A and B are shown apart, each in its own frame.
Chain A
Amino acid sequence: MHILLMTRGTPDTAARVVVDDSGAVSWGDAATVVNPWDEYSLEEGIRQAEQTDGQTTVLALGGELHLDALKHSLAMGVQNAILVDDEQLDARDSLAYARAAAAAVQQLADIDLIILGKESVDVGTDQHNVQLARLLGWPMLSYVSRILAIDEAAKTIRVERMLEQGLQTVRSRLPAVISVMKDINEPRYPSFMGIRRAARADIPRWSLADLGLASQESPAEVLEYRDLPGGDVSTEILAGSIAEQAEQLVARLLEEKVL
């Protein structure tokens, strides 16, 4: 079984992210790390490949920013990495990204299962996950909290999905795309040997032209990034005994009409 994983470089969870003077997004000296949701999909891919004696490939699309996320994936134990090297993809919409990803999957030709993180924190969405599945014509199982079984011979997968109203058990045919939740596993830390192997790895780079894709207009585009409005919250610290504090709090909340 050949499992495809995808990742991106995103600002460290604790980083302050701001818009700089040129209007570009900046996180200063803070580290660029693997998209936090991808740690779970990378781990799950490695585990499933181990159990099925399969292989894993991790793909990133966009500029140099994502190279360290690929190296981290290799250090965790993913076997192969590919960068679809086109900086424009970082500024394009989810459909352009999904089209490039789908073309890479078709180029690889033998992918049975794609495991993705629930969403990407930079773009704040998971729409590219679903769109990749759709462009490939494969089923999409999102918000997976547990893989119950993979039957390679019958080409089926059973998973548990975490939806707002409860847990759903679903069976699907393979190949399929799944996205996984944080609950699914405990991601490993890269081993020393893994880090050394990743540092030496020569990661192949594919261009959009290699994938037979031309640049195209995006129907969804970013006009500008903005810092959050606000900073105008003035905090009232409630004083007095605990009973007085509680009285005041309830009175304020009734005035605010939020109860």
Chain B
Amino acid sequence: MSAIFVWIESHEGAALPTSWEALGAGLRLAPAAGSEVVACVFGANAGEIAQEAAGYGATSALICEDETLTDFRLEPYAALLSQLVQERQPRAVMAVASSRGRELLAASAADCGSGLFTEVLELAADGDDLHVIRPVYAGKLWMEGKLSGPSPFVLLRGRSFPAQPFDSSASLTAERVEAVLDEAEIATKVESFTAAQGRINLGDAAIIVSGGRGMANNPEAAPADAGDETIWKAQHGFEHTIRPLAKVLGAAVGASRAAVDAGYIPYAHQVGQTGRVVSPDLYIACGISGAIQHQAGMRSSKIIVAINKDAEAPIFKLAKYGIVGDLYEVLPVVTETLKQKLGK
């Protein structure tokens, strides 16, 4: 039986839950493709992660725990994946389009001369080919594409394919494989890593609360030593008005380009054409007018809520629920109401 390879992404010895979405997508494709789903697990703790992958539907696993693979590095990971693909000719190779997933599959597809599409939203087998739907032009259009030839590669948009429910009794056939590169053959050396403190990753977040230019309308007076008064007000607003709501919801904090460019919040929070493209279950846009370039980054969110003073703001055209009002008056009340209803 042919195989669908799914790369299971891990960080510091633990699988990233988005990987189970990729297994879910593989399992949905498997019957039409006449394939089984093989988890490819590299790095620290790969054996245990493979057992977890069994619970999410993988029926076999290729495991490599070589020391060169402890931190994700493109060269040793791609060399190994490419060798496995070339030896075993899987029906397809899949992963979630995270930073690492994008690097790994792009490199390995180049090694194998295979076709690749990124940020795939829908996937289907058509005879020997695969058909995909994906966004292009910064999410302003979709395209339908075809992958043909041996072992096509697919990078899935996160949060677009459901994971299969976990079955703790499931097991799989594991096979250990050898790394391809020695440390001496690897040109990149990781010197240090600083984990992002207490931040929820925008890409993984089920809920995102975002602030825009309207954050500057904070009615609180800036202290005399605040430097730029507008920036202080907006930063203070992100910290004391947006963040408490995000905390109650277990949400990540996002921002529009206008807010980032004005210095209200670091770039890591930017949602949009030159920031992160996100598709959470719930996106709450506060004081964001909804420029096309921002829409491009969030319009595929399942439910969009807009809170804005300007009833004519374009963001209301995307929103399922809207409140026309001052975010600094509305959000604290929403936060309190949620605390009561959610019992927090």
Contact = CB atoms under 8 A, between A and B. Distances in A.
Interface of A: 10-11, 13-19, 25, 36-37, 93-95, 98, 121-131, 133-135, 139-143, 158, 162-173, 176, 181-183, 218-229, 233-238, 242-243, 245-247, 249-250, 252-254, 256, 258-259
Contacts of A130: 74, 102-103, 106-107, 110
A95 B110 contact: yes
B321 A250 contact: no
Q: Chain A's interface: helix, strand, loop or mixed, by majority?
A: mixed
B330 interface: yes
Given A37-B274, A158-B191, A237-B322, A246 B116 contact: no
Interface in B183-227: 187-196, 201, 203-204, 206-207
Contact of B193 (A36, A123, A166): A166
Nearest to A257: B281
13 contacts: A14-B292, A124-B138, A127-B105, A131-B109, A140-B74, A228-B139, A236-B322, A245-B330, A249-B337, A250-B334, A250-B338, A253-B303, A259-B282
A189 to B, nearest CB: 15
Contacts of B11: 165
B193 A169 contact: yes
A36 B103 contact: no
Contacts of A140: 74, 103, 107
Contact of B116 (A220, A224, A254): A220
Q: Which of A133, A142, A219, A233 has the most CB of B within 10 A?
A: A219
Interface string B108-130: 01110111111100000000000
Nearest to B250: A259
Given A13-B274, A220-B117, 15 more contacts: A121-B137, A121-B273, A126-B102, A127-B106, A127-B118, A164-B99, A166-B195, A170-B190, A183-B267, A219-B148, A219-B149, A223-B143, A245-B323, A245-B325, A256-B303
Interface in B303-322: 303-305, 311, 316-322
- Residue with the highest number of chain A CB atoms closer than 10 Å, among B75, B113, B193, B281: B193
A250 B105 CA distance: 41
Contacts of A14: 291-293
B275 A182 contact: yes
Q: Which 10 A-B pairs have the closest CB atoms?
A: A219-B115, A220-B115, A130-B106, A127-B106, A219-B149, A131-B110, A125-B118, A166-B195, A134-B110, A17-B140
B141 interface: yes
B98 interface: yes
Contacts, number: 252
Contacts of A126: 102, 106, 118
**Residues of B contacting A: mostly:** mixed
Nearest to A181: B267
A20 B136 CA distance: 15
Nearest to A183: B267
B47 interface: no
A69 B111 CA distance: 30
Given A122-B137, A242-B329, A249-B323, A162 B268 contact: yes
Contact of A224 (B105, B143, B302): B143
Contact of B321 (A135, A238, A254): A238
A247 B323 CA distance: 12
A134 B78 contact: yes
Contacts of A237: 311, 316, 322-324
Contacts of B144: 222-224, 226
Nearest to B71: A168
B320 A236 contact: yes
B109 A127 contact: yes
B166 interface: no
A23 to B, nearest CB: 11
A125 B334 CA distance: 37
A172 to B, nearest CB: 5
A122 B139 CA distance: 9
B249 interface: yes
Given A164-B99, A228-B142, A182 B270 contact: yes
* A126, A140, A164, A236: most-surrounded residue (chain B CB, <10 A): A164
A169 B118 contact: no
B117 to A, nearest CB: 6
Contacts of A225: 136, 141-143
B330 A221 contact: no
Nearest to A256: B303
A173 B189 CA distance: 9
